[in-house]
């Protein structure tokens, strides 16, 4: 039964853990039915403590904010390079590289911001993973909207024409959308993992700066 105390966040346990431990001693021995009811109550209590005593919600909130800012920037760049200044050539390599670097920097920043609220590495990684997943999913959604609305412009890109010719698809819209469906899974998965890792790095960098201020 006492093992359930571990479900509570560390900060909560530091304040109430010993008391709760003693209380469970006082309540023992308990009949099996009461044990189940107490166990369920402790699980609910731990869930509540995570929502109210843990800074993880605020950390994820900051990460979501970073992700939304990045998504707006990426969407603006997608519109610029695909609709406003479209090119039939596949010459957006630099733009894509810079976009990825910006995303990686943002994910690292999300970790550094999260570390301002807690040093718990798992929560920092969670914040980064949420930011990465959001950036990946929202960016693909932007592509879905832009590619479908401006298909007559986007469909003139040589890389897409060549891709359609190699595929077994007979329409540019179906080809673009099937590629985006794959992209939704791969980009979101990749950025989720990258987000977790980079956020931990960002959090560690903030921790180092705290220990060795300039």
Partner 1 sequence: MESLGRFAEPSVLILTSLAGGPKHGYALMQDIEELTGAKIGPGTLYAALGRLEQRALIETLPPENRRLPYRITTAGASALRSYLEHAQRVTTTGLTRLAAFA
Of the two residues 38 and 151, which places its CB atom closer to partner 1 in the complex?
Answer: 38
Contact residue for partner 1 among 9, 42, 112, 195 (CB under 8 A):
42
Helices (H), the chain: 10-12, 18-27, 32-52, 56-79, 93-115, 121-149, 151-154, 158-166, 172-211
Angle, CA of 77, 81 and 87, to the nearest 5°: 170
Contacting residues for 131 by C-beta, under 8 A, at least 6 apart: 63, 64, 66, 67, 70, 106, 107, 110, 195, 199
Of the two residues 17 and 155, which places its CB atom closer to partner 1 in the complex?
Answer: 17
Q: How far is the CB of 29 from partner 1 (least distance, A)?
A: 14
Angle, CA of 195, 202 and 114, to the nearest 5°: 80
Q: In the stretch 51-70, what mask flags binding to partner 1 with x, by CB under 8 A?
A: -xx-----------------
Of the two residues 44 and 173, which places its CB atom closer to partner 1 in the complex?
Answer: 44
Residues 2-41 close enough to bind partner 1 by CB under 8 A: 12, 15-16, 18-24, 26-27, 37-38, 40-41
Asked if 201 interacts with partner 1 (CB under 8 A), we say no
Residues 121-140 close enough to bind partner 1 by CB under 8 A: none
* # chain residues binding partner 1, by CB under 8 A: 25
d(CA 89, CA 162): 11
Please name which of 119, 128, 132, 174 lies closest in space to residue 151, comparing C-alpha atoms.
174
Contact residue for partner 1 among 49, 59, 117, 199 (CB under 8 A):
49
Of the two residues 22 and 80, which places its CB atom closer to partner 1 in the complex?
Answer: 22
The answer to whether 124 and 203 have CB atoms below 8 angstroms apart is: yes
Contact residue for partner 1 among 10, 11, 35, 45 (CB under 8 A):
45
Residues that bind partner 1 (CB under 8 A): 12, 15-16, 18-24, 26-27, 37-38, 40-46, 48-49, 52-53
């Amino acid at each position: 039964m006492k093992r359930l105390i571990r479900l509570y966040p560390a900060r909560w346990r530091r304040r109430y853990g010993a008391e709760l431990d003693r209380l469970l001693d006082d309540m023992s021995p308990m009949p099996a039915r009461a044990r189940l009811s107490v166990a369920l109550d402790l699980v609910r209590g731990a869930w509540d403590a995570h929502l109210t005593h843990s800074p993880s919600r605020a950390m994820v909130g900051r990460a979501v904010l970073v992700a939304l800012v990045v998504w707006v920037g990426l969407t603006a760049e997608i519109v610029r390079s695909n609709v406003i200044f479209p090119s039939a050539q596949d010459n957006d390599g630099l733009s894509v590289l810079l976009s990825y670097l910006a995303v990686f920097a943002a994910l690292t920043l999300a970790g550094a911001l999260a570390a301002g609220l807690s040093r718990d590495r798992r929560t920092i990684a969670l914040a980064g993973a949420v930011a990465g997943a959001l950036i990946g999913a929202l960016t693909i959604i932007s592509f879905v909207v832009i590619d479908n609305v401006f298909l007559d412009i986007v469909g003139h890109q040589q890389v897409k024409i060549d891709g359609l010719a190699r595929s077994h698809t007979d329409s540019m819209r179906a080809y673009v959308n099937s590629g985006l469906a794959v992209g939704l899974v791969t980009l979101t998965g990749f950025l989720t993992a990258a987000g977790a890792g980079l956020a931990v790095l960002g959090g560690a960098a903030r921790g180092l700066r705290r220990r060795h201020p300039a």
